[in-house]
Structure 1
Amino acid sequence: MNLEIITPDKKVFEGEVDSIILPGKNGQFQLLKDHAPMVSTLLKGDLTYDIKGKTETIIVDGGVLEVSKNRVLVLAEAVI
């Protein structure tokens, strides 16, 4: 699935990932390929994504998430 992480200042990341773990209001949640469409708010915390077995982590300072047709768009307030 395609992940795009954007802040008001810049595009932080764009690429194909295998899975994503995000900081939600009720705790962390995971997205995998073919996830149902959704919109969610994000809290401050670790956003972790896997690319071919390699794990990367970015700390987001809140934001909004949209999932649709294997495309995940994260509009982060800031990346720390």
Structure 2
Amino acid sequence: MVRREIWFHKVLWSYIPCHWNGSAVMAAVIFPTVLAILAGQAALDAVGYASADWLPFPVFFIPALLFLLGVAKRHS
């Protein structure tokens, strides 16, 4: 049986990175997600849907959050 590396420690109800791989995975997901949210809001504003600028947040944030929670649970 293969043991997975420990990248995160569970503290109460969240996960804290304790290895550089955990921080690297978080950065590799968070930075593109934030850029996608900002670009989506800018694109909606440019085409005249400024009232829908909230839409890119759940579209990009929720999948990124679920992915990071899965990685953290697997490597904790």
TM bin, normalised by shorter chain, reads: under 0.3
Q: Which protein shows a greater Rg?
A: 2
More strand by share: 1
